[in-house]
Amino acid sequence: MYSILFNDYGKIWRESPTAVNELFAFGTIADYKANKQLIGPLDENQLLKLRQLTLMSVVKQGLMTFDQVSMLLDLDYNDIIKTLTVLARSPLLELEIDELGQTVKFIRASSRDIWVQGDPSPSFTKPITIELLQKELNYGNDASTPKLKRRLES
């Protein structure tokens, strides 16, 4: 299980976040294009990763045309299917490509959330079980929904 607590780069991130770190944590292809002078050139693998992160940010749209994806990812129209096929192999992003309809349907994507300040609590690194989750949420009690809402808002 990932935890910034065990990540060698967690300390570096907190002490001196760079434009490149911020781009990959929060940014999109459009952000990169707008700040190329500050960030510098990215290689093909970095651009592919940023395209993946960009798509993960718009997955809630559900369905996009190839034209929309081409503009969003700053891709030549001829490279859309090739790039989407590569990105669809990742467990981080699930999508369906309809070549005839020239659309992309987004099924699901992993979250881009990162820890912005400090390390997660030590309980974050413990394996979770249904029993622990039920106990944490006080499952079966009317107070569970407000408690969950408070936790999600914090």
Q: For 38-69, how does the pLDDT look when each residue is reduced to its tens digit (9 = 90+)? A: 888 888 999 999 999 999 988 888 899 999 99
Residue 80 has a pLDDT of 93
Q: How far apart are CA 41 and CA 50, in angstroms?
A: 13
- Residue 64 pairs in a beta bridge with 104
| Distance (Å, whole) CA 65 – CA 2 | 34
Q: What is the pLDDT at residue 37?
A: 85
Using a cut of 0.85, tell me whether the model's pTM lies above it: no
Using 50, 70 and 90 to split pLDDT, how confident is the model at 135? low
pLDDT for 103: 95
pLDDT at residue 119, as a whole number: 47
At 102, the amino acid letter reads Q
Q: How far apart are CA 96 and CA 41, in angstroms?
A: 31
pLDDT of residue 125: 47
Burial class (CB in 10 A: 0-12, 13-18, 19+), 42: middle
Residue 5 has pLDDT above 70, yes or no: no
Nearest by Cα to 31 from 15, 53, 10: 53
Domains of the chain: 4-109 (1.10.10.10), 122-153 (no CATH)
Which tokens sit at 149? 């809402």
Assign 40 to helix, strand or coil. Answer: coil
Residue 27 has pLDDT above 70, yes or no: yes
Choose among 36, 8, 5, 6: nearest CA to 20. 36
pLDDT at 16 over 90: no
Can you read off the two tokens belonging to residue 41? 């050139």
Query: What would the two tokens of residue 83 be?
Result: 């790039």
Beta strands in the chain (DSSP E): 63-65, 93-98, 103-109
Q: What is the pLDDT of residues 85-106, one digit of tens each?
A: 999 888 888 999 999 999 999 9
Q: Is the pLDDT of residue 29 over 90?
A: yes
Nearest to 7 by CA among 91, 90, 115, 111: 115
Q: With bands split at pLDDT 50, 70 and 90, how would you rate the model's confidence at 23?
A: confident
